[in-house]
């Protein structure tokens, strides 16, 4: 039987950070609307950083969720999707440079060989840890950088749009409960 990993201080810190960011954005929502251009750039940068880390989760989607509730969610989603796609290029580059070290017998490698860029889009839409590996494998398979970037952008933009819209509708729902 597999043991469940213990809840560590890092997990607690990540949760506190996520809640803190969400509360801060909510409390500063009036200021954010005045400086919306900077806030959209913040969504872009948060997603670059959040997606540039390979196998280490950084909560960029929490920023998208919170900003979606205070700004125009479509623009937040578009900015976040573009940033996420650019951030994912680090995994692609790692795979491109380290292709001899990639296990060509892994199930994900076989799925990439079978489904190609369609798998990139699907994995990019669903928040999951496998997308980093898909980027590494795409680089190792020598899928052209612009095809990977375009399909990652499409999937990550759909993901960011859905999260931003969820943030917008959640905020409206909570405000209706409180009033």
Task: Indicate if the pLDDT at residue 140 is higher than 80.
Answer: yes
CA angle 166, 168, 171 (to 5 degrees): 105
Q: What is the reported pLDDT for 136? A: 87
pLDDT, mean over the chain:
82
Angstrom distance (rounded) from CA 103 to CA 172 = 47
Do 119 and 84 form a contact (C-beta atoms < 8 A)? Answer: no
Q: What pTM was estimated for this model as a whole?
A: 0.77
**DSSP calls for 85-129:** HHHHHHHHHHHHHTGGGS-TTSHHHHHHHHHTHHHHHHHHHS--T
Task: Indicate if the pLDDT at residue 20 is higher than 80.
Answer: no
Task: Indicate if the pLDDT at residue 120 is higher than 90.
Answer: yes
Task: Indicate if the pLDDT at residue 33 is higher than 70.
Answer: no
Of 11-20, 69-78, 119-128, 134-143, minimum mean pLDDT range: 11-20
The residue-averaged pLDDT of 103-108 equals 79
Burial profile 26-42: b = 16 or more Cβ within 10 angstroms, e = fewer: eeebeebeeebeebbeb
Look at the alpha carbons of 80, 37, 53, 5 in this order and tell me if their dihedral is positive or negative: negative
**DSSP calls for 5-23:** PPPPHHHHHHHHHHHHHHH
Q: What is the reported pLDDT for 131? A: 86
């Amino acid at each position: 039987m597999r043991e469940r990993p213990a809840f560590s201080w890092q997990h607690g810190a990540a949760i506190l950070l996520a809640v803190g960011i969400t509360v801060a954005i909510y409390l500063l929502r009036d200021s954010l609307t005045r400086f919306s251009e900077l806030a959209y750039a913040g969504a872009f940068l948060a997603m670059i950083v959040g997606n540039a880390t390979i196998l280490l989760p950084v909560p960029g989607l929490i920023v998208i969720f919170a900003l979606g509730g205070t700004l125009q969610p479509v623009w937040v989603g578009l900015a976040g999707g573009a940033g996420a796609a650019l951030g994912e290029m680090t995994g692609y580059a790692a795979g491109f440079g380290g292709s001899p070290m990639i296990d060509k017998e892994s199930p994900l490698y076989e799925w990439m060989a079978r489904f190609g860029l369609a798998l990139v889009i699907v994995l990019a839409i669903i928040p999951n840890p496998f997308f980093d590996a898909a980027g590494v494998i795409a680089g190792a398979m020598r899928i052209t950088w612009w095809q990977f970037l375009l399909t990652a952008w499409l999937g990550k933009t759909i993901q960011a749009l859905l999260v931003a819209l969820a943030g917008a509708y959640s905020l409206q729902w909570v405000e209706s409960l409180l009033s």
